[in-house]
Structure formats: structure tokens, C-alpha cells
Amino acid sequence: MSFTLHGLAVSSGIAIGQAHLISQATLEVSHLVIAQRMVEKEVARFETALARVRNEFGVIRNGLGKAPTDIGAFIDLHLLILSDPELSEVPKHIIRERRCNAEWAIVQQMELLVAQFEKIEDTYLRERSYDVRQVVERVVRELVGRPGHATAKAAKGVKGENLIVVAHDLSPSDVMAFKDQNFASFVTDVGGSTSHTAILARGMAIPAVLGLHNARQLIRDKETLIVDGTRGVVIVNPDARILEEYELKKCQIEIERSKLKLLKTTRSTTLDRVKIDLLANIEEPSDVTVALESGAEGVGLFRTEFIFLGRGDMPSEDEQFEAYRKVVKGMQGRPVTIRTFDLGNDKNIHSDDAIGERKRDNPALGLRSIRLSLAEPKTFQSQLRAILRVSKLGKVKILIPMLSHAHQIDQTLAALEQAKSSLRGEKISFDENIEIGGMIEVPAAALAVGIFLRRMNFLSIGTNDLIQYTLAIDRSDEQVSYLYDPLHPAVLMLLAHVISTAEKVNIPVSMCGELAGDPKLTRLLLGMGLRQFSMHPAQIPAVKQKVKQSDISEVIPIVRRILRLEESAKIQEQIERLNA
Ligand code: PEP
Ligand code: MG
């Protein structure tokens, strides 16, 4: 049966492929596609894990003697569940047929069984689903404790080009883990349009639709899907006519994109000859290739935390140096702005929690980003030292996220001084004049921008968080995403204030939030005085085209009028006219 689901259009383009379902539980175990030649080894790993758990249950059971006890009955039941072919045999078929790793295979089968149990009316029988879960969890623990050969390495090179991931939710670290597998697209039930998950989809230039509410329940594995990331639509089991129509649309989009690519080597200058810097936002060293291909003039935002998400421990100074070195060398003399770790909230080194601490109710308002760096001076020093060490290899700048208070800036500058003097003590050279900038992503920072201008060399506006905090809208929550309005007059007032105040004192301002990569807003931002835009490489050609078609002297008076408007709808209308 064909049906259509509507959600948030977070990453444009069209993907056509097969549904590849991922459940919440599977996200807690690794979900890898096994190379064909490793499949039988994976089956053997599964069998070994089952045997070990069976043996462990047997030892406990024997220790209890023959007398009937509750615990004895419980173990007997778990042994029975473990021996049931539904759990002992079917996962092996899943491993063989779908080439899943063992953990993933058994968790998928568990979900199916649990769903069947949950339909049973009898309460006693229904509650046996808990026992199934417990048994599976025990097997998964055994597998996870002995990961064997089913590592990400084994999955590398496996192509997911015609697979569309369908999940209830995906964290940024889940998406980073998928990066190697080249999935065609992903769709989720939850998530907002400027969540880091959405940002990663745009960075990978794959179509994505989030906030579909119950796609994970309605879509079945291997069903054919069309994902229209431009309209926020997912069509399940489309008929031949619709498929043909979308194949055609997909081709047209590809043709448009390749036409834009021709702009790669042209200058990004407006019609009235104002030079506009178009820079790339990157998440890991390998992104340098696409940045250069898109014609980026440098890296305006290197989100360093992404390289180390979910890995469980903090990277050493040398590991960081190596990652930063690859980017600086790769950019061949172009400027590279390295942002210090923006960890916490949805981006964690430990996949299950923030730096091993307990979860807080409001992580976006908690110990994240620079607050966390200042609270962990050792980690912060190792990052600052690693950045300073690469600064002699190219044109490197340091960017600090989430600053809001003058004393935080002072503390940060003192930490930088400390890192510099320790390197001097060790006779390690670095750029003594390295520039340090602050991100403007908290309304307090935008309003009191003077405290930044007096202390820092440059500013970079992070509109994703700035909008989230100005409008009190969680950027990852699809339930309130309709209120996430970049054109809210309060947002525009803050942007205009920061850009014009910095201009008066000659401090460069760039923008690295998602707004900078939206060609519909390029003229508005040019009219406000913005001259440096940093965005996902895939967006650079479209923004460059807009820059080349704009005359700043014509745009300025219109933007001034727009900034006096108080209704988002009217602002929207005027921006459409500005782009006409
Ligand atoms: C921002 O907040 O706009 C920004 C660029 O930082 P991030 O998206 O990584 O929070
Ligand atoms: Mg931010």
C-alpha cells in the first residue's frame, strides 16, 4: 500500500531507495553492515555468545540445587527463552540475509517478538516480553564485551547508496558513525531543523526529513521510499508513475547542482564589486576535500568535537594535533578557524551521557561548550596546545563557542596565555599572533557585544543557538520547530546590532550558523553589512551565485526598511521581493 508522510524538510534533494529500519535499542549497540566474507564468522560469534550465556545460566541453576525456588523458575524460563529458535536461530538468518552484526540482528528479532507479546491480552503472557528483553540484553552484553572482528573497519567500504535509514531518533554521533556507509538518506520521527543531526545531513549533502512522528512504526524494512528533502515528504511504496516523476526531478536537481559547480573557480564578488568571503563549515578532516571542491576560501568553522563524539574518552593532545594538522595542511594555506570543543547537550564524548556525569533536565542551558572547557582545565589546555602547535603550519584562528560573560572571556584568554607559555617553556614554536574570536550565540552576548569587541580579534555569529536561546525554542525538538523562526524581528535586531557595532570598531564578523548557507537570506545579510559567510560546502555554490547577482548599494535601503518591520510575515514578504 502506498502512503505519504509529512515532516520537516531539513536537507534538500531527492533520494529513492529501500527502507533500512533502525530501532532505538539498536542505536545502543553498534549497527554495522558486515562484509560478505565475514558473515559466517559473525554467525559463529553469535553462537559463542549464546553458548556462554547458556552456560552461565546453567551454573547459576545448578548452584540453586533441586529445591523449587522463584529464582530457579526464573532461570528456567530464561533458559527456555534462550533456546527458543526465535532467538537462537532467526538472528542467524538475519545476519546472513541482511549482513547485520550479531548484536543488531538479535535486537531486531527481540523488537519483533516484543511487539508480538505486547498484542497478547493475557497480562501474564504479555509481561513475558520483559523476560525476552532481559535475555537479549544479557546476550548483547556478552557480544559487546567481546566485539570480535565486527568493528567499524569490517563495515567500511560497504555501500549503503540505495538504503534509506529510518529511525525514531538519531544522535549526531549515530550519523557520524553512518558517514562511511554512504546511506542515500535518513528519516526520523523526532528532531528539529537546526539540530546537529540535521546539520550533518546538510553537510553530507544527503536528503533528510525529520519530525515524521511515527515513520519508524509505519514503514517496514526494505519497502521502497522516496524522500523529498526539499518538501519534507516521504512517499512509501510509490506507484510506477510517481517513481518515474521523482526519478526525473532527481535528475533535474543533479543537473542544477552540476551547473552551480561551474562557479567553483569564479570570484565571490557582488555586482558593485564588494568581495564576500565564502568559507566552509566542517566536522572532520575528510571534509576538506568537499570544501575545496566547492570552492571554499577557507574553513570558517571546524566543529572539532565531532571527530571524537561517542568514543568514550577524551582525545590526547597528539591525536588532536594530528586531526587539526590534516585540515590545516589540506586547506593549502587558506585560513582555518578551529572552534574549541562544543561538547554537552546533544554532543557527547560518552555516547550515553555528558562526560560521564548525570543527565540534567536542561542540558542546552547547562555545563556545555566553553563552560565545560573552563571546568575541565586539563582538557582545555591540551586542546589549546594542539591548536597552537598547528598554528605554525598555516593560517589558523581559534574560535570559542557559547561565551556570554566578560569573566569567561578573560578566563579563556588567560588559559590561552598559559598554553602559550607552556609551549614556549618547551621551545615548541607557534604563531605568537594567533587570532582568537568569540561566537555570538547567546542573546546576552549579542546585546552586550562590546565586551567581546574589547577583548577579541573577531566574532562569528552562531545563528542556530542564537535563535534557540532568543526564542526559547529547543532546536532539536520537532514539536516546537514551527516556532523556530529565523526571521523573527528580535533575531534580526540582534544580528543587525552585532554586525553594525562590530563594523564601527573594525572588528571582523562572520556568520557560521545555518542562516549563512541559505541563499534566500544572502541579500538580507549583505544588506546588514555581513561580508564573511561560513556554511556547509554543499551550499557555497548557491550562495555564491546569489552574491554575484546582488548589488549591495541597492540592497541596503530595502534591508533598512525590513529591519523596521515588526511582523515576521511582512518581513518574509519583503525578503521574497528582495530576492525577486
Ligand atoms: C550555531 O549555533 O549557530 C553554530 C554554528 O554552532 P553549532 O551549530 O555547532 O551549535
Ligand atoms: Mg552553537
- Predicted confidence at residue 69, as pLDDT, reads 66
- Grid cell at residue 36: 560478505
Which sequence positions are flagged as catalytic? 196, 512
Q: Is 441 in the pocket of ligand 1 (CB under 6 A)?
A: yes
Residue ranges of alpha helices (H) inside 391-529 are 406-425, 443-447, 450-453, 463-471, 489-504, 522-528
Instruction: Please provide the CATH number assigned to the domain covering 25-143.
Output: 1.10.274.10
**pLDDT one-digit tens code per residue, 294-315:** 999 999 999 999 988 766 678 9
Q: Is 463 in the pocket of ligand 1 (CB under 6 A)?
A: yes
- Predicted confidence at residue 569, as pLDDT, reads 93
- Residue 198 CB-density burial (10 A; 0-12 exposed, 13-18 middle, 19+ buried): buried
* For the CA of 192, the nearest ligand: 1
**pLDDT one-digit tens code per residue, 428-440:** 999 999 999 999 9
What DSSP state is assigned to residue 394?
S
- Grid cell at residue 233: 515528504
Number of the ligand 1 atom closest to the C-alpha atom of 196: 8
396-400 and 336-339 strand pairing: parallel
C-alpha distance from residue 368 to each of 130, 218, 249, 360 (Å): 36, 36, 42, 11
Q: Ligand 1 centroid to 24 CA: how many Å?
A: 26
Strand order from edge to edge, sheet including 208-210: 3-6, 233-236, 224-228, 14-22, 163-167, 185-188, 208-210, 8-11
Instruction: Tell me whether residue 221 is annotated as binding.
Output: no
Q: Say if residue 50's pLDDT is above 80.
A: yes
Cα dihedral 91/93/96/98 (nearest 10): -80
Q: What is the rounded CA–CA span in Å between residue 335 and residue 131? A: 57
- Grid cell at residue 64: 540453586
Are the C-beta atoms of residues 211 and 191 closer than 8 Å to each other?
A: yes
- Tell me the three-class secondary structure of 23-63, residue by residue: CHHHHHCCCCECCHHHHHHHHHHHHHHHHHHHHHHHHHHHH
Which residue spans of the chain are classified as CATH 3.50.30.10? Answer: 3-23+150-239
Class of domain 260-579 as given by CATH: alpha beta
- Predicted confidence at residue 181, as pLDDT, reads 74
Binned at pLDDT 50, 70 and 90, residue 130 comes out as: confident
Q: What is the rounded CA–CA span in Å between residue 177 and residue 170? A: 11
- Predicted confidence at residue 158, as pLDDT, reads 40
Q: What is the rounded CA–CA span in Å between residue 238 and residue 228? A: 12
Which residue spans of the chain are classified as CATH 3.20.20.60? Answer: 260-579
Pocket test for ligand 1, best of 342, 368, 403, 491 (most atoms within 8 A of CB): 342
Q: What is the rounded CA–CA span in Å between residue 196 and residue 346? A: 8
- Grid cell at residue 387: 591548536
Q: Ligand 2 centroid to 456 CA: how many Å?
A: 18
Beta strands (DSSP E) in 189-327 are 208-210, 224-228, 233-236, 277-282, 299-303
Q: Ligand 2 centroid to 489 CA: how many Å?
A: 20
Class of domain 3-23+150-239 as given by CATH: alpha beta
Q: Is 283 in the pocket of ligand 1 (CB under 6 A)?
A: no
185-188 and 163-167 strand pairing: parallel
Binned at pLDDT 50, 70 and 90, residue 169 comes out as: confident
**pLDDT one-digit tens code per residue, 530-558:** 999 999 999 999 999 999 999 999 999 99
Which secondary-structure segment (H or E) carries 290? helix 287-293
Residue count (the chain) = 580
Which residue spans of the chain are classified as CATH 1.10.274.10? Answer: 25-143
Q: What is the rounded CA–CA span in Å between residue 356 and residue 349? A: 9
509-511 and 224-228 strand pairing: unpaired
Q: What is the rounded CA–CA span in Å between residue 327 and residue 386? A: 13
Taking all residues of the chain, what is their mean pLDDT, rounded to a whole number?
A: 89
